[in-house]
Amino acid sequence: MGAADATWRARGACQGLDAEIFYPEDDEDLAEDAKAVCAECAVRLACLNHALDNREHQGVWGGATARERRRLLRQRRRTA
Ligand code: SF4
């Protein structure tokens, strides 16, 4: 993990919260609590970009579920 990576993580609104919130059993239907935290997070975009760049397949990152991130990756490929 690089220094920049560590910096945004430490500033995440989810720091200290139960990680299970961000890994709900069904991240399409049960992600609302996580998304509410992400919506207030100052480093949401850095977090989302990290998840997209690293192909994180589980959990809510940057306010986006795994399915939403797959959609974003497809859009990224189309516009690249
Ligand atoms: S965007 Fe969400 S998951 Fe990412 S650091 Fe912020 S609160 Fe945590």
Residue 47 CA: which ligand 1 atom is closest? 4
Q: What is the pTM of this model?
A: 0.89
Question: How far, in Å, is the centroid of ligand 1 from the Cα of 72?
Answer: 17
For the stretch 60-69, pLDDT in tens is 999 999 999 9
Residues of the chain with pLDDT > 90, as a percent, come to 80
Residue 61 CA: which ligand 1 atom is closest? 3
DSSP states along the chain: --HHHHHHHHT-TTTTS-GGGGS-SSTTTS-HHHHHHHHT-TTHHHHHHHHHHTT--SS-BTTB-HHHHHHHHHHHHHH-
The domain limits of the chain are: 3-79
